[in-house]
Structure formats: structure tokens, C-alpha cells
């Protein structure tokens, strides 16, 4: 990642607690991070709180940002983690004993949903995703919308990598089935 001198200076000022610099960064990322949180928690007020708390956390922990990743991707990870933590606090994440589930997974990890072939717009797909079970909606949001890989998703959701692949596969199948009904 190559940062421009002005970006480096801006982030250095943020790290030192400069409120004007922090406000510039906040203005740059607030809307996008709000929508990341909203897609996960599905509550506007809660999403706004999560976004603001995440920004405060990011500014407080700027020294922990390794700068190999972009600030935006690091911030997005904080927002996603905070959103999922909030869902867990509210017991909205389903509790499933995956050890008892005997399921032979088909290898569909590389398969992407072809929205155009299905005649669906992205907006319609997002609407259909709202109909999915919470854990399916969450893994698809992290995978397809946020672009996270299985390892990141499994770490964030606290499940094994194999269970992550299984859940994504099942979620995609469920989404396909619901899209065919529309």
C-alpha cells in the first residue's frame, strides 16, 4: 500500500490526537462504515452507535494499525467486529452445535452467484438476503459484500474454517432458492 504524503501526515496527526485531522478522517469514512454496520445489525440507531464507537476505537488505537493494510480496511474490520459483538450481546446470533451436524459439504466455495443471469439487480439480491437466517445473511454480507475471505470470516464469527465454508455454501444455496421464488 502506498500512501500519499498528505495521507501519511493526516494519519500521523490523527495518531497524535489532532481533532481536526480526526474529523476529516471521520467525514471520509463515516457513511461507508455506517452502512457496513447497518447491513449486519439491521438497526439504524445501533449502526450509528457502532460506527461512532468504532471510529473512537480506531483513533485510540492508531498505533496498532500496521499500515500494511489500508486504514479503511482496518477500520472496516473494527466495525464488523463491533457489529458482531453487539449481536452476540443481544443474543441475536443463533447458537448451533456444529459438532452434532453431519453434513458432507459440496465444494462450492469458488462459485459466485450470477446475479445478471438470474435477472436480479444488486438491490433485489440485498432485499432477498434480508429474508435469510441471520447467520446466513451475516456470512454472505462478509463474504460477498465486504469481500472477506473464509479465514477472516471464521475468525470474526468464532467458527472453524470448515464450518465457515459450509455455512457460506448453505447460505448461497438458500439465497439461490429464494431468488428463484421471486
Closest to 145 in 3D by CA, of 36, 69, 63, 44: 36
pLDDT interval class at 5 (50, 70, 90):
low
User: Quick one: 64 and 103 in the same domain?
Assistant: no
Most confident of 37-41, 54-58, 87-91, 149-153: 54-58
Domain count, the chain: 2
Name which of 7-21, 71-85, 98-112, 143-157 the model is least confident about. 98-112
Whether the predicted pLDDT of 170 surpasses 70: yes
- Of 54, 89, 124, the residue that ends a domain is 89
User: Quick one: 78 and 119 in the same domain?
Assistant: no
Whether the predicted pLDDT of 48 surpasses 50: yes
- Domain carrying residue 143: 98-181
- Of 64, 89, 114, the residue that ends a domain is 89
Q: What is the pLDDT of residues 54-80, one digit of tens each?
A: 999 999 998 888 888 788 888 998 999
Q: What is the pTM of this model?
A: 0.60
Amino acid at each position: 500500500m502506498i500512501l500519499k504524503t498528505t495521507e501519511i501526515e493526516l494519519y500521523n496527526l490523527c495518531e497524535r490526537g489532532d481533532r481536526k485531522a480526526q474529523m476529516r478522517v471521520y467525514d471520509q469514512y463515516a457513511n461507508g462504515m455506517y452502512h457496513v454496520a447497518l447491513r449486519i445489525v439491521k438497526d439504524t440507531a445501533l449502526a450509528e452507535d457502532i460506527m461512532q464507537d468504532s471510529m473512537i476505537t480506531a483513533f485510540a488505537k492508531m498505533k496498532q494499525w500496521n499500515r500494511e493494510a489500508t486504514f479503511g480496511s482496518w477500520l472496516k474490520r473494527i466495525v464488523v467486529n463491533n457489529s458482531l459483538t453487539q449481536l452476540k450481546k443481544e443474543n441475536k446470533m443463533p447458537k448451533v452445535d456444529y459438532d452434532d451436524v453431519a453434513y458432507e459439504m459440496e465444494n462450492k466455495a469458488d462459485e459466485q452467484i450470477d446475479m445478471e443471469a438470474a435477472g436480479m439487480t444488486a438491490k433485489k439480491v440485498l432485499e432477498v438476503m434480508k429474508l435469510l437466517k441471520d447467520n446466513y445473511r451475516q456470512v454472505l454480507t462478509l463474504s460477498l459484500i465486504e469481500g472477506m475471505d473464509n479465514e477472516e470470516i471464521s475468525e470474526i464469527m468464532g467458527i472453524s474454517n470448515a464450518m465457515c465454508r459450509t455455512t457460506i455454501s448453505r447460505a448461497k444455496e438458500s439465497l439461490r432458492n429464494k431468488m428463484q421464488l421471486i
